[in-house]
Structure formats: structure tokens, C-alpha cells
Amino acid sequence: MGYFSDFLALFYPDYCLECHCSLVKGEEYLCSQCITKLPKTHFHLQKDNPVEMLFAGRAPIFRATAFCFFHKEGIIQRLVHQLKYKQKGEVGKYLGFLFGLSLSESEDFQSVDVILPIPLHVRKKRKRGYNQSELICSGMAKAMKKEYTCDLLIRTVNTKTQTKKNRYNRWENVSEVFKVATPEKLAGKHILLVDDVVTTGATLESAAHILLEIPNTKVSIACLACAQR
């Protein structure tokens, strides 16, 4: 099978999604050089980092982090665009796996019991074909050797796009849009809540408050990217 794959690669080579160079054996989606260019934050090793401070006074989050900085016209913006709008779902799994490997360096994140994605409303998910946060979660769970589930946290309202809203309007837009299907399955658990890009944190804050109503839960947050502040 390996010889056949190598033979096919001569005629149908895989290309790096960033620089478009041919990938060599052992590389997936990104070449080694482009992986080294990912603008990683290393916030998982830093308490009171900018993502954690974003939720200070808003929700009692245990830990919060983002994998990379999101720069306009940067590599992460291009990859997230392909993930969300170009049907490149495997990008989410791959970046989630890299993210999960990083989180495994932190004892705080290794204490996570279950990983939950921020859900899309069923109509939006049907239109897009998948939830990008679910794909990120699946990669993270594989790298961290943790359980992940996509059917416990549910979005009950199909909210309008958040892109052009200020912080207050974003909170108003998502303040009562989530519910937990079977709360008893999460009781006493350390939950890792995952989203693709964090801006104001309103969506994550709203979901975290719902989860924290479950007895003895602890909530941490992990996002693929955040703006550099």
C-alpha cells in the first residue's frame, strides 16, 4: 500500500495549503517549514494570559488559551477561511491535533475530562456541512487522549452573524441560546470548551455559564486563534 501511495504521489502530489509546495512523506496539509511559521501564543503555559483576562469578572473560567495569534491576511486567517468556507474540514482536525499536542504540555489542561465544541445551530450546520469546532475537537481529543462529545451542548437559537457587532451586542445576541441535553453526564467534570476564533468571548461566556450551572463542573476554554492584543 505504501509503494502504491508513493507511486500515486508522483502524479497527484499533495500540496501545502499555505505555500503550495509539494508535501514530502510524513507531512500532512502543511509543510514542516510552514508549521514553524505558525504564530503560536504558548498561552497554555502562562496563567493570567490575555485570553484568560478576557473572561476576568465575566465567568469563573479555570484556564483559557488560544493556539495561535490571528493576524489579518496571515497564515491562520487563511487556514481558518479554508476550514470554514472552502470545505477543507481536514484542516480543522489537523490544527486541532497540533493544538492538542501543545495542551498536553500543561498539567492544568491534562486534567480535562471531556472536550465540547461550541455548537452551530442545526440549520447553519446543515448549510455548511459540518461544524468547524467539532473537527478541531476531534483532532484535540486524539492528541490529548481525551473524550469529546458533540451532542450534549446544544444551540437552540440560530443567531445572526457576530462579525459586525460590538461586545455588548454580541453578548445580547448569544445570552440565552444554549442548553445542555443531559447535564448529569457532565456533573463533576472538568470541561474544555472549544471554538475556532475568540474575539469578545461573548459566545464562550454564554456557553460557560450554562455549563457552570451543572453541579461541581469546572470549565476551561481553548480556541484555535485569538487577535494579538
Looking at residues 122-129, what average pLDDT do you find? 84
Provide the number of structural domains found in the chain.
Answer: 2
Distances in Å between the Cα of 122 and the Cα atoms of 119, 132, 158 are: 9, 13, 8
Greater confidence (167 vs 128) lies with: 128
Whether residue 74 sits in one domain with residue 4: no
Tell me the C-alpha distance between 229 and 50, whole Å: 8
Whether residue 63 sits in one domain with residue 13: no
Whether residue 78 sits in one domain with residue 14: no
Range of the domain at 86: 38-227
Whether residue 23 sits in one domain with residue 10: yes
Whether residue 209 sits in one domain with residue 129: yes
pLDDT (tens digit per residue) in 15-58: 898 999 999 888 988 999 999 999 999 999 999 999 999 999 99
Whether residue 198 sits in one domain with residue 143: yes
Residue 99 is predicted with a pLDDT of 98
Query: Which amino acid type is present at position 185?
Result: K
Residue 126 is predicted with a pLDDT of 84
- Whether 8 has a pLDDT exceeding 90, the answer reads no
Whether residue 29 sits in one domain with residue 96: no
89-103 vs 75-85: helix crossing angle, rounded to 10: 130
Whether residue 176 sits in one domain with residue 71: yes
pLDDT (tens digit per residue) in 201-226: 999 999 999 999 999 999 999 999 99
